[in-house]
Amino acid sequence: MNPLPTKQRQSSVDLALQIRRTTVEMTSRANASHIASCFSVTDILAVLYSRVLVFDPQQPRWRDRDRFILSKGHACAALYAVLAEFGFFPKEWLETYYLDGSRLAGHATHKGVPGIEVSTGALGHGLPLATGMALAGKRDERAHRVFCVLSDGECDEGSNWEAALFAPHHRLDNLTVIIDYNKIQSLGWVKDVIDLDPLADKWRAFGWAAREVDGHDHAALEALLTGVPFEAGRPSCIVAHTVKGKGVSFMENNLQYHYTPPRGDELPRALAELGVK
Amino acid sequence: MRNAFFNAVFALAREDERIVLMVGDLGFRIVEGFMAERPKQFLNAGIAEQNMMSMAAGMALEGKIVFAYSIANFPTLRCLEQVRNDVCYHGARVAIFCSGGGFTYGSMGVTHHVTEDLAVTRAMPGLTVIAPGDPIEAACVPAAIVAHDGPFYVRLGKAGEPNIHAGPIDFQRGRAITVREGNDVSLIATGSMLLVATRAADRLKADGINARVLSMHTVKPLDLDAVEAAAAQTGVILTIEEHSIIGGLGAAVAEYLAERPGAGPRFKRMGVPSAFASEIGSQDHLLAHFGLTEAGVAQTAKQMLAS
Ligand SMILES: Cc1ncc(C[n+]2csc(CCOP(=O)(O)OP(=O)(O)O)c2C)c(N)n1
Ligand SMILES: [Mg+2]
For residue A34, the ligand 1 atom closest to its alpha carbon is: 19
Whether A5 has a pLDDT exceeding 80, the answer reads no
- For a pocket test of ligand 1, which of B25, B26, B111 has the largest count of ligand atoms closer than 8 A to its C-beta? B25
At B196, phi and psi to the nearest 5? -60, -40
Q: Is residue A222 part of a domain?
A: yes
User: Are A122 and B31 a contacting pair at CB < 8 A?
Assistant: no
Q: Which of B28, B47, B109 sits opposite A106 (nearest CB)?
A: B109
Structural domains in chain A (count): 1
> In angstroms, what separates the C-alpha of B102 from chain A's closest C-alpha?
16
If you write DSSP's letter for every residue of B257-283 in order, what string do you get? HHHSSSPPPEEEEEEE-SS--SS---H
User: Are A121 and B112 a contacting pair at CB < 8 A?
Assistant: yes
- Rounded distance from Cα B100 to ligand 1 centre (Å): 15
Task: Look up residue A4 and give its DSSP letter.
Answer: P
Supply the pLDDT for residue A277.
77
CATH of domain B177-306: 3.40.50.920
Confidence band of B115 (pLDDT split at 50, 70, 90): very high
Confidence band of A8 (pLDDT split at 50, 70, 90): low
Supply the pLDDT for residue B212.
98
pLDDT digit string, tens, across residues A146-177: 999 999 999 999 999 999 999 999 999 999 99
Confidence band of A179 (pLDDT split at 50, 70, 90): very high
Supply the pLDDT for residue A157.
98
Average pLDDT over residues B207-226: 98
| Chain B residues lying within 8 Å of A98, measured CB to CB | 107, 280
Supply the pLDDT for residue B262.
85
User: Are A101 and B279 a contacting pair at CB < 8 A?
Assistant: yes
User: Are B280 and A255 a contacting pair at CB < 8 A?
Assistant: no
Q: How much is the pTM?
A: 0.97
Provide CB contacts within 8 A for B76, sequence distance 6+: B83, B96, B98, B117, B120, B121, B153
B2-155 and B177-306 have identical folds = yes
Q: Is residue A220 part of a domain?
A: yes
Confidence band of B129 (pLDDT split at 50, 70, 90): very high
> Which run of H or of E encompasses A163?
helix A158-169
Distance separating alpha carbons of residues B35 and B22, to the nearest angstrom: 10
At A238, phi and psi to the nearest 5? -120, 115
Ligand located closest to A183 CA = 2
- Rounded distance from Cα A72 to ligand 1 centre (Å): 7
Supply the pLDDT for residue A142.
98
Q: What's the burial of A275, exposed, middle or buried (CB within 10 Å: 0-12/13-18/19+)?
A: exposed
Does the bond joining B273 to the residue before it have cis omega, within 30 degrees of 0?
A: no
User: Are A255 and B28 a contacting pair at CB < 8 A?
Assistant: yes
Q: What is the mean pLDDT of chain A?
A: 96
Which is it for strands B185-189 and B236-244: parallel, antiparallel or unpaired? parallel
Confidence band of A3 (pLDDT split at 50, 70, 90): very low
Distance separating alpha carbons of residues B183 and A67, to the nearest angstrom: 60
Share of chain A above pLDDT 90, in %: 96
pLDDT digit string, tens, across residues B230-277: 999 999 999 999 999 999 999 999 999 999 998 899 999 999 999 999
Provide CB contacts within 8 A for A127, sequence distance 6+: A69, A71, A148, A150, A159, A160, A163, A164, A177
Supply the pLDDT for residue B160.
87
Whether A2 has a pLDDT exceeding 50, the answer reads no
Q: Is B110 on the interface with A (CB under 8 A)?
A: yes
pLDDT, greater one: B247 or A5: B247
Q: Where are the domains of chain B?
A: 2-155, 177-306
B:111-130 residues touching chain A, CB 8 A cutoff: 111-112
Confidence band of B77 (pLDDT split at 50, 70, 90): very high
Task: Classify domain B2-155 at the CATH topology level.
Answer: Rossmann fold (3.40.50)
Domain span holding position A168: 13-273
For ligand 1, is residue A184 a contact (CB within 6 Å)? Answer: yes
Q: Which of B28, B112, B281 sits opposite A186 (nearest CB)?
A: B28
Whether B63 has a pLDDT exceeding 60, the answer reads yes
| Cα-Cα-Cα-Cα dihedral sign, residues B196, B186, B97, A156 | negative
Share of chain A above pLDDT 70, in %: 97
Q: Is residue A187 part of a domain?
A: yes
Instruction: Report the first-to-last Cα separation within chain B, whole angstroms.
Output: 37
Average pLDDT over residues B32-51: 98
Whether B74 has a pLDDT exceeding 50, the answer reads yes
At B44, phi and psi to the nearest 5? -95, 110
Supply the pLDDT for residue A9.
63
Average pLDDT over residues B64-79: 97
CB B55 within 8 A of CB A194: no
Q: Is B34 on the interface with A (CB under 8 A)?
A: no
pLDDT digit string, tens, across residues A260-274: 999 999 999 999 999
Supply the pLDDT for residue A4.
55
Cα–Cα separations (whole angstroms), residue A174 to A68, A210, A233 = 12, 14, 9
CB A65 within 8 A of CB A144: yes
CB B24 within 8 A of CB B47: yes
> In angstroms, what separates the C-alpha of A181 from chain B's closest C-alpha?
15
For ligand 1, is residue A154 a contact (CB within 6 Å)? Answer: yes
Q: Is residue A35 part of a domain?
A: yes
pLDDT digit string, tens, across residues A208-241: 999 999 999 999 999 999 999 999 999 999 999 9
Supply the pLDDT for residue A91.
98
Supply the pLDDT for residue A237.
99
Query: Domain with A134 in it: what CATH number?
Result: 3.40.50.970
B/e letters for A149-184, b = 16+ CB within 10 Å, e = fewer, are: bbbbbbbbbebbbebbebbbeeebbbbbbbbbbbbb
Which is it for strands B218-220 and B128-130: parallel, antiparallel or unpaired? antiparallel
Q: Which of A122, A157, A188 sits opposite B111 (nearest CB)?
A: A122
Supply the pLDDT for residue A10.
79
Q: What is the mean pLDDT of chain B?
A: 97
Q: Which of B51, B74, B109 sits opposite A109 (nearest CB)?
A: B109
Average pLDDT over residues B208-226: 98
If you write DSSP's letter for every residue of A218-262 in order, what string do you get? HHHHHHHHTT--SSTTS-EEEEEE--TTTTSGGGTT-THHHH---
Closest residue by Cα to residue A107 from A92, A119, A125, A95: A119
Whether A1 has a pLDDT exceeding 80, the answer reads no
